[in-house]
Amino acid sequence: MSEPPLILAEHLSRHFGGLLAVDDISFSLQKGEVLGFLGPNGAGKSTTMNMLSGNLAPSDGEIQISGHDLLESPREAKAQIGYLPENPPLYREFTVREYLRFCARINGISRAHIESAMDAAIERCGLGEVRERLIGNLSKGLQQRVGIAQAVIHLPAVLILDEPTVGLDPRQIREIRGLIKELGKEHGIILSTHILPEVQASCHRVQIIHRGRLVYRDTIEALDQRLQHASLILALHRPPHLETLRGFDGVVDCSALGDGHFRIHYSGNNPAETLAQRAAQENWGLYELFPERASLEEVFLELTHEEASNQGLAS
């Protein structure tokens, strides 16, 4: 029997006057899972994160955190949440230890356990060498680590990370991604981002939100499959006529790209093996044959276009 979800969100909506920022979304999060919440700026990500963290009440819907209803039992539910907002609430004039001591106290950690909780958070987040330094003098990457440390100091079941790598340099991004993977082994994590490659690097599942609605939800493996277009790039030194290439089983279209390169669109079984065999038999001089990959940006545009088309049909 599977464990109950750490987060169960059902039919969440949020209105701001006449604006429907989040429109009837539902999802769950399991222990040991990193769930990517992906969408452009203004899509409803931060509004959803604020509802999940208890900082904003939903207009409709229910949220359960580790079995506690967030509206009916807010104290018990919030005790299971660690939250890193897009702009971490850091006090620049505090040292790292001073700040984490303050965070431990406001999270209800007893005096007898504050020091051990601080030491554990510092160790987990790689802050040992800067524990006595002022937060205001730290790099952006180290400040993000301090923000994550305050989120994990009370050992919550759920971590909600809103845009955790924005503003970091490539080295700092790699470090934060590695930290998220490590934390994901012991917590359930929701990672909200508008950076498309972020979810591939850190997440097990991905949800894409657009204009307040979920337009895609699946595993990272399924997303990778979607990134594989049903098309091939073929390059030949002595190519036949286009009609010959169009005549292969499964090929629905073929277009010339110049310099002996062709794009082969197919449906059903991949015709790559048959194309290679025929090219060898006919001495076409095959020197390239590979599947064409879509970018994450292209997939995102495709998904949001589908959503817009469906809404247009429904109206």
The predicted-structure confidence for 197-207, as pLDDT tens digits, reads as follows 788 888 999 99
Q: Specify whether the CB–CB gap between 298 and 285 falls below 8 A.
A: no
Domain ranges of the chain: 7-225, 228-293
Alpha-carbon gap, residue 183 to 69, rounded angstroms: 24
Residue with tokens 């006919």: 282
Which helix H or strand E contains 159, and what residues bound it? Answer: strand 158-162
Mean pLDDT, the chain, integer? 90
Q: How far is CA 60 from CA 15, 39, 54, 55, in A?
A: 9, 21, 14, 15
Write down the pLDDT at residue 315: 44
Q: Specify whether the CB–CB gap between 137 and 95 falls below 8 A.
A: no
What CATH code is assigned to 7-225?
A: 3.40.50.300
Write down the pLDDT at residue 313: 44
Q: State which residues of the chain have pLDDT below 70.
A: 1-2, 226-229, 293-302, 304-315
Write down the pLDDT at residue 267: 79
Write down the pLDDT at residue 308: 56
Q: Which fold has domain 228-293?
A: Alpha-Beta Plaits (3.30.70)
The predicted-structure confidence for 1-33, as pLDDT tens digits, reads as follows 467 899 999 999 999 999 999 999 999 999 999
